Homo-oligomer: A and B are copies of this chain.
Amino acid sequence: VAAPRALAVDVGGTRVRAAVVTRQGRVLARLEAPTRAADSPEAVVAQVADLARRLPAEGIAVAGVCAPGPLDVDRGMALATPTIAGFRDFPLRAALADCLPWPVHLEHDGHAAAWGEWRFGAGRGTQDMVYVTLSTGIGAGVVTGGRLQRGHRGMAGHAGHMTVAPGGPVCACGNRGCWEAIASGPAFAARARDAGFADGAAAFAAARAGDTAALALCGALAADIGLGLTNLIHLFSPALVVVGGGMTAGLDLLAPGIAAHIARTALPPFRGVPVLPAALGDNAGLVGAAALAFAARTRAMSLSPSQASG
């Protein structure tokens, strides 16, 4: 009998990704599509079912799904995802279970990506790791003492909504001065446009060509990212920080400023904590969701062998 495989699904605000993943974290096949985020939750669920249908089903024993928070993982609900229409008190796990022939395990995307990087990526071999997605939003996943930190209802890791600049820019959540409101992709893009660049990517490109204004934008962004990471380092004491998400396209420009901010503002014992790029790229969430689904299946089988496949 071949080792079981997982269908892994990463429901993002921009892309829906689905893959077949082995127990060893290997991605055997992979598809993606632009998320029908403006339509309805049912449309997004139908997209997942469609991608799953187009992947080879052979050997798949479990489905691991990750999605943006806040989710109630215990009840399988999307509570209030701002980036996808209708993901508000929506029973995502049940809706997916209705159209997939495997047990469905649901996790926060930040938790799944953290677990993927910890098991198979940049965090391998540590006991304590903080993973941060720097993207349209900012989220975190934490491994502490070799365990994924889920928190009550699986809702830990909403790092983007730390207030770090009271009275600062308005966030998508309605507050002012959230970390996400100053250090996310859209926040940087807005500042880049104010300085005359087409978008964030154009500012990164100009900075690489030596443009002074672009370099100044990157320096300010690095300090803002460094500020939030320093807070997380003080709170979680990770052996290392792993950063992923679209903003890491500029990490070559940002890493020195991030490290300098940590070295300047962290308490002395925390000054050397390294910040590394994610090793699995876009696949971190898929690989982590698969690994967590395998682990949930193993737990279910050891608790109740007769129901393990249901």
Which residues on the B side are within 8 Å of A140 (C-beta)? 235
> A residues 99-152 with Cβ under 8 Å of B?
126-128, 140, 144-145, 147, 149-152
Contact flags A152-175 to B (C-beta < 8 A → 1, else 0) = 111111110111111000000101
> A residues 259-294 with Cβ under 8 Å of B?
265-270
Select A269's contact among B147, B155, B238, B239, beta carbons within 8 Å: B155
> Across the interface, do B231 and A173 meet the contact criterion of CB distance under 8 Å?
no
- Any chain B CB within 8 A of the CB of A234? yes
Residue among A149, A238, A266, A270 having the largest count of chain B Cβ atoms under 10 Å? A149
Select A144's contact among B144, B161, B162, beta carbons within 8 Å: B144
Which residues on the B side are within 8 Å of A175 (C-beta)? 265
Task: Quickly give the copy total for this chain.
Answer: 2
Select A164's contact among B70, B150, B153, B164, beta carbons within 8 Å: B164
> Across the interface, do A267 and B70 meet the contact criterion of CB distance under 8 Å?
yes
- Any chain B CB within 8 A of the CB of A237? yes
> Across the interface, do B235 and A162 meet the contact criterion of CB distance under 8 Å?
yes
When chains A and B are docked, how far (Å) is the Cα of A153 from the Cα of B144? 12
Q: Whole-angstrom distance from the CB of A111 to the nearest CB of chain B? A: 11
Residue among A70, A79, A80, A265 having the largest count of chain B Cβ atoms under 10 Å? A265
- Any chain B CB within 8 A of the CB of A227? yes
- Any chain B CB within 8 A of the CB of A10? no
> Across the interface, do A151 and B236 meet the contact criterion of CB distance under 8 Å?
yes
When chains A and B are docked, how far (Å) is the Cα of A236 from the Cα of B218? 30
